[in-house]
Amino acid sequence: MTAAAPATRRAYDRSWALFRAWCAGAGLPAAPPVSIAQVVTYLEALPPGLGRSGLALRVAGIAHGHRLAGMAWTERHPAIGAALRRRQLDPAALRRRLDGCGTDLAGLRDRMLLLLDRVAGLRPGQIATLDREDVALRADGMDLQLRPVAADETVVGQTVAVSRRRGDAACAVAALERWLLQANITYGPIAQRLGAHGWPGGGMSDETVRRLLRDIERRAADDPATAPRGPVAGAWRGPAARKTVAAKRRRSIKPGRSSPGLRTTP
């Protein structure tokens, strides 16, 4: 590993000292190796106002302290990534996105995906590979056993713990529970596409999860009270798109025959 520049080393030393001071104040051990759970607790206890770079520096300082002690330690653990993403969460923006999710099955799925992404801090690839068998629900939260993904093979066997937030519309645990119950998912992928019948029809790729999350972002930019939802996939369609779909359906009907979903005049 290339030696850090003197200024970078001083920044790491300061971050490591800040972490050790917090451990002493909390009555926790500060000598390496430090548990991932303790680091997550530390990140969640930091005062607001630290930006992404400031938070990353705190984590890098802990990794630096372990290197000084000659111990291997990685800041890429998914539980740390999840904690960092939660720290950057904008509650008002999250509420707008939740308001754009409907109450039908597609809406429940979208809400679950959004909260796993924003609150649990999972990446799309981790959500796409998560099976029902990987979810351990508890009264106070849930544990998610992550599977390896192509971009990061280090996540195998690692677990992310998510706390239950009772009475909070942004509770990822409650959203996942409701989706699993209403979609009747007892095994296999938790992130599933909806088929023509409106029920789960198989797992999703990470790109599909990303697309659905982008759809949620786009709906939040519109007025959620006036953004209609598609009947099956839950994707928003504006008036022009709905007219295009109707026109295609008319062209597909043979003369003398009618479509169950299209009213014709004599």
Query: In terms of domains, do 163 and 191 share one?
Result: yes
Query: In terms of domains, do 127 and 164 share one?
Result: yes
Q: Is the pLDDT of residue 16 over 90?
A: yes
Query: In terms of domains, do 102 and 163 share one?
Result: yes
The model's confidence at residue 28, banded by pLDDT at 50, 70 and 90, is very high
The model's confidence at residue 37, banded by pLDDT at 50, 70 and 90, is confident
246 within domain boundaries? no
pLDDT recorded at residue 149: 61
Cross-strand partners of 138: 141
pLDDT recorded at residue 42: 94
Structural domain including 190 reads 91-221
pLDDT recorded at residue 138: 94
pTM of the model: 0.67
- In angstroms, the CA 96 to CA 118 distance is 13
41 within domain boundaries? yes
160 within domain boundaries? yes
The type of residue at 79 is A
Reported as a single tens digit per residue, the pLDDT across 146-175 is 876 655 444 445 788 888 988 889 999 999
260 within domain boundaries? no
Mean pLDDT of 209-233: 70
Q: Is the pLDDT of residue 139 over 70?
A: yes
97 within domain boundaries? yes
- In angstroms, the CA 53 to CA 15 distance is 12
What are 12's two structure tokens? Answer: 């790491």
Reported as a single tens digit per residue, the pLDDT across 172-185 is 999 999 999 999 99
Query: In terms of domains, do 109 and 207 share one?
Result: yes
| Mean per-residue pLDDT over the chain, rounded | 81
Reported as a single tens digit per residue, the pLDDT across 45-79 is 998 888 889 999 999 999 999 999 999 887 888 78
What are 179's two structure tokens? Answer: 């989706």
Query: In terms of domains, do 106 and 199 share one?
Result: yes
